[in-house]
A and B are shown apart, each in its own frame.
Chain A
Amino acid sequence: MILLAHAIAASPGATLALNGLRGRPLMWSEAGDLGLWSTEWEPDVKLERPDALEHHGLVERICAAQPCLPVRFGTAFATPDEARASLDKRAAALHAALTRVAGKSELALTLLWTEHSPPQAVESAAGPGRRYMEARRAEFAAREARRSRAESLVEEVLTELAIERQLVWYETCTSENVAVSLAVLVPTERAGELKAGLAQVAARFPDVIPVLNGPWPPYTFARTE
């Protein structure tokens, strides 16, 4: 039997009438003034996609009961002692992270380009070498234009909503479709209001489709390294 980790919280653990994944026991392993919520698991049982979504549901409910740090899905410990040792090693950083996310939730904003980059026309009379170089140059210019536009979208969102930079994480142009993937850490009680604000600002952009998610547990802001 191993422990499949879900979330770290300050001790004492909240009183939760919850089962772990697939109805298995949900465990609380305490290490000093921290503890780990986990499911008793058998090492040869493979995790599936529904388990990931159930883990998400569990983390949401734990976070609703007490401030917690979601653990990356798929992390397991051979024994409760191993789990405790791991928490002990990082206790100071984990406490700092818990303080950072306490009472906060994560909102996710993804901006999808409405159109693919148009192919650039290259003068047909040019030789093959010239055509190749011109095509490469056009591709590079288009990519840079998109990156610059994506950065300006982020700036506009953050400025309009007066969001502190340290509470934001984002990436731009991670694929052909995605202009911006942005996460913002917000006070849980204001999440609905701020989500509406994000939706309002993002809806003004003519060249992207906004996709808003959350409030979620603070996955993006739980890192300790």
Chain B
Amino acid sequence: MKELTAEDASLLELVDRLLNKGVVLAGEATISVAGIDLIYLGLNVVLAAVETIDKARDRRAS
């Protein structure tokens, strides 16, 4: 796994807030977000660097 850089950490912190914080209006539809769910999981579970996740996703897509 690639070392987590300060830039990675900043982006992950922001994405975590967008997807995991804020008002939850339960009971309504939540649209899935392409390419972001893995980054979100990355923060809380794996915390792999964004670049690493992107590469992994690209490999799966090819």
- A97 near B23 with CB under 8 A, answer yes
Q: Give bound CA distance, A137 to B21, whole Å.
A: 36
- A49 near B13 with CB under 8 A, answer no
A-B contact pairs, 30 of them (CB 8 A): A8-B23, A41-B31, A46-B31, A46-B32, A48-B35, A48-B36, A49-B39, A55-B18, A71-B23, A72-B25, A73-B18, A74-B31, A74-B33, A76-B29, A76-B30, A76-B31, A78-B28, A86-B25, A97-B23, A108-B17, A112-B4, A174-B43, A176-B47, A177-B3, A177-B47, A209-B6, A211-B10, A213-B13, A219-B17, A224-B24
Q: When the two chains form the complex, which single residue of A8, A74, A86, A216 contacts B27, counting CB atoms closer than 8 Å? A: A86
Main secondary structure on A side of the interface with B: mixed
Q: What is the interface of chain B, defined by CB distance below 8 A to chain A? A: 3-4, 6, 9-10, 13-15, 17-25, 27-36, 39, 43-47
Q: What is the interface of chain A, defined by CB distance below 8 A to chain B? A: 2, 4-5, 8, 41, 43, 46-49, 51-53, 55-56, 69-78, 82, 86, 90, 94, 97, 106, 108, 110, 112, 174-178, 181, 209, 211, 213, 216, 219-220, 222-225
Highest count of chain B CB atoms <10 Å: which of A51, A56, A69, A74 = A74
- A69 near B22 with CB under 8 A, answer yes
Q: Give bound CA distance, A20 to B36, whole Å.
A: 20
Q: When the two chains form the complex, which single residue of B3, B25, B34 contacts A47, counting CB atoms closer than 8 Å? A: B34
Q: A52-B15, A211-B9 are in contact. Are A223 and B34 (CB under 8 A)?
A: no
- B34 near A48 with CB under 8 A, answer yes
How far does the Cβ of B58 sit from chain A's closest Cβ, in whole Å? 14
Contacts of A82 in B (CB 8 A): 28
How far does the Cβ of A107 sit from chain B's closest Cβ, in whole Å? 11
Q: A71-B22, A112-B4, A181-B13 are in contact. Are A175 and B46 (CB under 8 A)?
A: yes
Closest residue to A73 on the B side, CB-wise? B18
Q: When the two chains form the complex, which single residue of B13, B21, B27 contacts A223, counting CB atoms closer than 8 Å? A: B21
How far does the Cβ of B18 sit from chain A's closest Cβ, in whole Å? 4
Contacts of A70 in B (CB 8 A): 17, 21-23
Contacts of B28 in A (CB 8 A): 75-78, 82, 86
- A222 near B33 with CB under 8 A, answer no
Closest residue to B7 on the A side, CB-wise? A211
The 9 closest A-B pairs by CB, nearest first: A175-B47, A219-B17, A219-B21, A70-B22, A73-B18, A72-B22, A177-B4, A47-B33, A211-B9
- B13 near A5 with CB under 8 A, answer no
Closest residue to A45 on the B side, CB-wise? B31
